[in-house]
Amino acid sequence: MNQFQVRTDLALETREKFEEDNVEIKGVWVEEEYREKSEIKITTMVIETENGAKAMGKPKGTYITLEAANMDCQDEDYHREISLELAKIIKKLLPRKEETLSVLVAGLGNREVTPDALGPRVVDNMLITRHVLKEFGKYAFGEDEVNAVSGIVPGVMAQTGMESQEIIRGVVDETKPDVMIAIDALAARSTRRLSRTIQITDTGINPGSGVGNHRHGLSEKTMGIPVIAIGVPTVVDAATIVNDTMHTLIQAMEENSHLKTLSTGLNALNDMEKYELIRELLSPQLNTMFVTPKDIDESVKRLSYTLSEGLNIAFA
């Protein structure tokens, strides 16, 4: 069952699964906002207790999800609105400091694999200021206060032979930033959220967890500084598509008098039995597959500019 359980990195989707099963989670509260003009929905979920964290399978902390149905469009003005909303959210999570804030932006993922290249491309588009401030001071920018922003793309273990955590922790120990921003691609439960959702959390991140490739986590506990994780889902588990297709198929059968009897039989299956059926359909070639949209190249390129602009605005 666990092998074929639907995988998702989005805390919002984990909560939605409990709602579908009519299960109330204590120690977790949710607040929703909707921007009618820009059609952007912002959901803030806070896990306050250990019991809530255990039920959700996620650490205690704040999870903010920004959803925009038109995020995959090429409207630059619309993406600017998303960047502005993202900047507001990031500012709320940044630690309070009167003087210059030192920020390390880590672009996680594999630059050579398009769905996993979001993190590195965001860092490519960032306004990096730390070296200029060290050399010329804040007056080089003509501003009274300028945050020191540095960036790193640690790659993946297959490229470096090292954990991303090991590389980044060495950089943190040497440069001593006040906060770290980790950018990574995520896995979603729903295909409609691919490239249309941004999750921001103050709990850190476990690189590769969404695709079952668990690596050492990046969090305040492991890094020694606050870690804000930003992610966009770019892949969906193949089992999810089969599961959703089965649900749609059953609904279509119920509307057809000739197939209604068959739909009754499938409807009688519980979740475990449906997953067993999915296992038979997917095994052994397809059960580890993840699917990504055909226009993922353009989506990642567009989203990398949207995220980097939001970060640049937040640190300006």
Report the alpha-carbon distance of residue 151 to residue 270 in Å, rounded: 48
pLDDT at 202 over 90: yes
Q: How many CB atoms lie within 10 A of CB 290?
A: 17
Query: Which pLDDT value is given to residue 279?
Result: 64
- Distance between CA atoms of residues 138 and 132, nearest Å: 8
> Do 40 and 80 form a contact (C-beta atoms < 8 A)?
no
User: How far apart are the C-alpha atoms of 201 and 60, rounded to whole Å?
Assistant: 10
Question: Which residues share a beta bridge with 227?
Answer: 180
What is the SS3 string spanning 190-237? CHHHCCCEEEEECCCECCCHHHCCCCCCECHHHHCCCEEEEEEEEEEE
Helices and strands in the chain, H and E counts: 12, 9
- What is the pLDDT averaged over residues 23-42? 87
Of the candidate ranges 16-30, 191-205, 207-221, 232-246, the one whose mean pLDDT is the lowest: 207-221
Token pair, residue 48, equals 């306050």
pTM of this prediction? 0.86
Closest among 213, 205, 225 to 58, alpha carbons compared: 205
Position 1 scores a pLDDT of: 39
User: Nearest 5°: phi and psi at 117?
Assistant: -95, 5
CA atoms of 108 and 45, how far apart (whole Å): 24
Please check whether residue 28 is in contact with residue 45, taking contact to mean a CB–CB distance below 8 angstroms: yes
* pLDDT surpassing 80 at residue 303: yes
Distance of CA 173 to the CA centre of its chain: 26
Tokens of residue 2, six digits: 């666990």
**304/216: higher pLDDT:** 304
Could you read off the pLDDT of 154-176 as tens digits, one per residue? 998 889 999 999 999 999 999 99
pLDDT in tens, 206-247: 765 555 555 678 999 999 999 999 999 999 887 777 777 777
Instruction: List domains and CATH numbers for the chain.
Output: 11-239+289-315 (3.40.50.1450)
Amino acid at 290: F
Give residue 260's identity as a one-letter amino acid code: K
What phi, psi does 183 have (nearest 5°)?
-110, 130
Task: Please state whether the peptide bond connecting residue 233 to the residue before it is cis, i.e. omega within 30 degrees of 0.
Answer: no
